[in-house]
Amino acid sequence: MAKKKKPKIFVLDTNVILHDFSAIYNFQENDIVIPIAVIEELDKFKKGNDSINFNAREFVRELDKITDNQLFDKGVSLGTGRGVIKVELGHPFSEKMGMSLFDDTQDHRILSTTEWLQSKNPDREVVLVTKDINLRMKAKALHLMAQDYLTDRVTDEKVENIKKEVITIHGASDLAMQELFYKDQGIPIKEFNIDKPFCNQLFKIYNSAKDKKVLARYSSRTKSLFGVKKERAYGIEPRNDEQAFAMDALLNPEIKLISLTGTAGTGKTLLALASALAQEEMFDQILLSRPVIPLKNQEMGFLPGDIKEKLGPYMIPLYDNLAVIKRGFKQSSKEAIRIEEMLKNEKLLISPLAYIRGRSLTNVFFIIDEAQNLTPHEVKTIITRAGEGTKLVFTGDIYQIDSPYLDLHSNGLTHLGEKMCGQELFAHINLTKGERSELSELAGKLL
């Protein structure tokens, strides 16, 4: 009879908890160890309004609920089907660590704890879980097992599926294509020999001669294809097929949640803002926001002025999109005047995401820009706050991530597209052609 394999021991780094405060419940029957250095680091993050501050506070509260004397000794059970959790006090650096890592940092203390656990449990796998790739490299250099936090990661195959949501069909009859374009009630999918499409799947349909093309969207409610026309919104008109798909979803009141992906210059934020302005009478407020991720050494504390002046530079790209729309009208036109009125009375509000997270989102058109810099938990938090009448649009480039602990597979925008695919209320469009300028498109392709 084969000997039953013992549960693993997972050592959690601080960044895993700051990414997902409920991470301790995602390791099945395996045991969890929290180094005391992690508790020390969490203490530095407990104050503030950002999601990492919220996660730090929630984790400490969660730990407090299960705390007893055993938490620092044998550990405390996390419940049926799960292992135990234990807080491990610090241990001296081994000779091998001391010769290789000279600085006494919190990261190195976490490594020391992992190494000590491995030496005390030779019959069990001890794995350091961290989103810090440099720390994983150091662990492996010391012959310690280390991995990323895998719970909310999206596979390569599913990332590719997110990019390929538009299906091309050839050989359709001219009559069926004509009906699709002019009939508002839609055309049954059997007319086009389509097998099991998901809701809001997008199609480019060509005739046999390939000299005619129509765009279409599938509705699972009616099991029909609906023609997609190039609609104009507040002076902005789609310049390519993908932008037409995006505008169709943005102006569709039945679609409440949208993700728009694409490289810089593809028109993601511009289309979302123009469609929001075109529908402003339907909503109490239009919110346009983005997470503040300081780049390199551009920390906000070193910028001059009060908090609004410090955050102002991070909001400039959003104001740039608004300026593009305004340039399409004369300064004295009712459209331009209306934009100024909305800004003045905050019917149109441009603000950092941290300032909006706690608000009630009822009957709001909410655009979240640069959403690839959000964690899956942050995206979920925003969506779950949506009340009646609210429409949410997440935009971003999943290949341009500024957050140090997120990547193509673990960011909130990728996660959203993979988990929501096929839902009636959700549409995803990947914009592929740059329309900002010929130079912008060339740089996006080659650099």
* pLDDT for 295: 40
Q: Are 166 and 242 in contact (CB under 8 A)?
A: yes
For residue 300, name the pLDDT band (cuts at 50, 70, 90).
Answer: very low
Q: Is the same domain home to 395 and 311?
A: yes
* pLDDT for 162: 66
Q: Is the same domain home to 325 and 438?
A: yes
Helices (H) and strands (E) in the chain, counts: 15, 17
Q: What is the pLDDT of residues 149-181, one digit of tens each?
A: 988 888 777 777 666 678 888 888 888 888 887
User: Domain with 47 in it: what CATH number?
Assistant: 3.40.50.1010
Across the chain, what does the average pLDDT equal?
86
Residue 153 lies in a domain: no
Alpha carbons within 13 A on the beta-carbon side of 428: 25
Q: What is the mean pLDDT of residues 254-267?
A: 92
Residue 48 lies in a domain: yes
Q: Is the same domain home to 193 and 162?
A: yes
User: Domain with 369 in it: what CATH number?
Assistant: 3.40.50.300
User: Domain with 205 in it: what CATH number?
Assistant: 2.30.130.10
Q: What is the mean pLDDT of residues 360-364?
A: 90
What does the alpha-carbon distance between residue 422 and residue 409 come to, in Å, rounded to a whole number? 19
Residue 393 lies in a domain: yes
* pLDDT for 264: 85
Q: What is the pLDDT of residues 408-427, one digit of tens each?
A: 888 999 999 989 988 999 99
User: Edge-to-edge strands of the sheet including 364-368?
Assistant: 348-352, 285-290, 364-368, 391-396, 257-262, 426-431
Is residue 2's pLDDT more than 90?
no
Q: Which range marks the domain in which residue 196 is found?
A: 158-229
Q: Are 184 and 224 in contact (CB under 8 A)?
A: no
Residue 235 lies in a domain: no
Of the candidate ranges 39-53, 264-278, 384-398, the one whose mean pLDDT is the lowest: 39-53
How many independent structural domains does the chain possess? 3
First to last CA, the chain: 58
Cα dist from 140 to 32, 90, 92, 172, 447, whole Å: 20, 20, 19, 56, 32
Residue 57 lies in a domain: yes
Q: Is the same domain home to 211 and 277?
A: no
Q: Is the same domain home to 391 and 418?
A: yes
Out of 208, 229, 250, a domain closes at 229
For residue 368, name the pLDDT band (cuts at 50, 70, 90).
Answer: very high
Q: Is the same domain home to 374 and 247?
A: yes
Out of 121, 147, 173, a domain closes at 147
Q: Is the same domain home to 118 and 178?
A: no
Q: Is the same domain home to 73 and 126?
A: yes
What does the alpha-carbon distance between residue 226 and residue 210 come to, in Å, rounded to a whole number? 20
Out of 147, 171, 199, a domain closes at 147
* pLDDT for 302: 46
What does the alpha-carbon distance between residue 94 and residue 117 come to, in Å, rounded to a whole number? 12
Of the candidate ranges 9-13, 180-184, 246-250, the one whose mean pLDDT is the lowest: 180-184
Q: In this predicted model, which residue has the larger pLDDT, 70 or 345?
A: 345
Residue 1 lies in a domain: no
Q: Is the same domain home to 198 and 337?
A: no
Is residue 303's pLDDT more than 50?
no
Cα dist from 142 to 30, 114, 132, whole Å: 23, 10, 16
Q: Is the same domain home to 15 and 125?
A: yes
Provide the residue type at 421 as one letter.
Answer: C
Length of the chain: 447
Is residue 308's pLDDT more than 60?
no
Residue 234 lies in a domain: no
Is residue 301's pLDDT more than 50?
no
Q: What is the pTM of this model?
A: 0.82
Residue 4 lies in a domain: no
Name which of 329, 323, 234 is nearest 279 in CA terms.
234
For residue 445, name the pLDDT band (cuts at 50, 70, 90).
Answer: low
Q: Is the same domain home to 276 and 342?
A: yes
Q: Is the same domain home to 221 and 247?
A: no
Helical axes 106-120 vs 36-45, angle rounded to 10°: 150
